[in-house]
Structure 1
Amino acid sequence: MASYAPCGIAEPVDLELVFAADGSGSIDDDELLLQRQGYADALLDRRVLDAVASGRWGKIAVSYIEWGDETSQHTIVDWREISGPDDALAFGESLLSAPRAAWGYNSISEAIAYSTDKILTNGYEGARMVIDVSGDGPQIGGRPIDWARDRAVDAGITINALAVKSRGGGHRGPGNIPLEMHYRLDVIGGLGAFVMVADEATPFADVLLAKIIREIADARPTGAGRDVTGIGNAAPAAQYATNVITCGTEIYERVGTDPGCKRPEMPATGAENPQGHQRP
């Protein structure tokens, strides 16, 4: 059970973490169950629980959402405190028993916006705040991805991503760039942000476990390093210190303090930006 905190006083935790998992039409029921099982198993892993216990408060707050198109973002398991195996087991049981809710295709921007709102309106005060996005396809609909990412970063949140690539490379990003580069250019942001890739050589469950351990064990500040959460100002990270950044094999000029890279132009129509997706 969650620890008691007086009304109006936020409960302190080491990390506020939203798992924002792809529940769109490209994920069939078997894949959705496999995906949920991966998160449930990861939270029960001894290495994850040890990372949780190593924090100042010895507990984190976790919520799990699934997302589809721009009108489809759903809280599958609302905020729970995780401080030991009983908490993790209860979270996993709730996750695996919940019905499917998301539909349509691939508004990563609205998933980030929804996750940001969940963090900013919950009853916790985390030393760190992270949105963990996983998906097998590119941004398609909804508000601009740059807006959603920068809004989260400005609020003190770091966005990490897991790109899930199927046989043959799977879906690609705008301009036919690899999906993981699209996530690196457009999706992730904030201090310490990173992308990991799951494919045939690196199974989803293994990569997910490594990603969650990294997110929980990392003691660095999140977001833009601003005094948003009352924790204290952080020194600018190295990623803000230069005017250029290497993305793949190309070097792009930075735009302001944007922690990402200059993105390729996305065509208004065509395979990379399909129009008129309907609910299944």
Structure 2
Amino acid sequence: MRLWAASVAICMAQAAHACETALLLTIDVSNSIDVAEYRLQVDGLADALLDAEITDVIVQGQSALAVVQWSGVDRQELSIPWTQLRSRTDVQTFAAQARAMPRAFVLSDTAPAEALDFALRQFADAPACDRRVIDVSGDGTPNSGSDPRPMVRAAERAGVTVNGIAIESMGLAITNFYRREIITRDGFVITARQHRDYPRAIREKLLRELSRILG
């Protein structure tokens, strides 16, 4: 009886600390992003994390988050390493780190294939979670690097979902590119109508990702 009770207690403790989603947020800091637009991205991310509904979903799922900044072929940085967010305080701390995050690169090209490759490799150090998701945000199509589609297929083979935020300035060119060449078959794209709309888009995307609504 004691052994059974101990086993139950261990299982309950493990369940209490289980991670539902490992979410890697990647932020475009290529040459097309100016200083004000960078601030809109990092402040928008921080504000979205502090939204009461999103904070609750993160804590309930004991989710793990990390942030990557990316631009050209050899320009990727893990700016905030994997952090499992188990409490509101954890979320607040992570949001503050995102808001204070210095820009990693300036005057660089746009190479989403290499960003995806770098992002996939970060899961080697991620907590063991039920789902693994990469979020790619950007405002342009590639002007350097390789074809991103092989990396998308690699993500699918690895069981990683890739979603996107397409930041548009005119029409839906970036959105259509993300749908064709960036997201996985179980992924989705949220369109931000210019950078000013990014805070709304990142909130919508986070809620959709962390609430297990896919496709």
1:212-265 residue CA offsets vs partner (Å, 9 max, x unmatched): 000000166xxxxxxxxxxxxxxxxxx9xxxxxxxxxxxxxxxxxxxxxxxxxx
Instruction: Specify every segment of 5 or more residues in structure 2 that has no aligned partner in the other structure, as ranges.
Output: 1-16
1:63 match: secondary structure = strand
The residue aligned with 2:175 is 180
Give the aligned partner of residue 275 of structure 1: none
Secondary structure at the residue paired with 1:102? coil
Correspondent of 1:215 among 185, 188, 209: 209
- The answer on whether the counterparts of 2:152 and 2:162 sit within 8 Å (CA) in structure 1 is yes
Larger fraction in helix: 2
Q: Structure 2 vs 1, CA of residues 123 and 162 (structure 1 numbering), >3 Å: closer, same or farther?
A: closer
One-letter code aligned to 1:15: T
**2-structure distance, mates of 1:79, 1:194:** 23
AA aligned opposite 2:122: K
The amino acid across from 2:113 in the alignment is S
Cα deviation for residue 123 of structure 1 reads: 4.3
**1:81 and 1:195, CA in 2 relative to 1: closer, same or farther beyond 3 A?**
same
Opposite residue 184 of structure 1, the aligned amino acid is R
SS for the counterpart of 1:124 is: coil
Amino acid aligned to 1:13: C
TM-score, normalised to structure 2, is 0.85
CA 1:219–1:122: 2 relative to 1, 3 Å: farther
Cα deviation 1:23-78 (Å, max 9, x = unaligned): 11111112111100111111111111222244xxx311100011010010011111
TM-score under structure 1 normalisation?
Answer: 0.66
Partner of 1:153: 156
Partner residue in 2 for 1:203: 197
Are the counterparts in 2 of residues 40 and 88 from structure 1 also a CA contact under 8 Å?
Answer: no
Cα distance, 1:145 vs structure 2: 0.6
Q: Is the 8 A contact 1:12 1:124 kept in 2?
A: no
1:61 aligns with 2:64: yes
| Higher relative contact order structure (alpha carbons within 8 Å, sequence separation ≥ 6) | 2
Provide the residue aligned with 2:73 in structure 1.
Answer: 70
Q: AA paired with 2:65?
A: V
Percent identical pairs in the alignment equals 28
Give the structure 2 partner of residue 137 of structure 1.
140
| Matches of 1:123 and 1:18, distance apart in 2 | 9
Q: Which amino acid counterpart does residue 119 of structure 2 have in structure 1?
A: S
Q: Kindly report which structure 2 residues correspond to 1:101-112, keeping only aligned pairs within 5 A, or say none.
A: 101-103=104-106, 104-112=108-116
RMSD between superposed Cα atoms in Å:
2.0
1:46/1:198 CA distance change after superposition, 3 Å: same
Rounded to whole Å, the distance in 1 between the matches of 2:212 and 2:47 is: 20
User: 2:19 touches 2:64 (CA, 8 Å); kept in 1?
Assistant: yes
Taking structure 1 as reference, are residues 198 and 108 closer, same or farther at Cα in structure 2, changes over 3 Å only?
A: same
Partner of 1:113: 117
Stretches of 4+ aligned residues off by more than 6 angstroms:
none
Say if 1:76 and 1:205 are closer, same or farther in 2 by CA, change over 3 A: same
How does 1:14-29 map onto structure 2 within 5 Å?
Answer: 14-29=20-35
Secondary structure of the corresponding residue to residue 26 of structure 2: strand
Contact 1:20 1:133 in 2 (8 A): yes
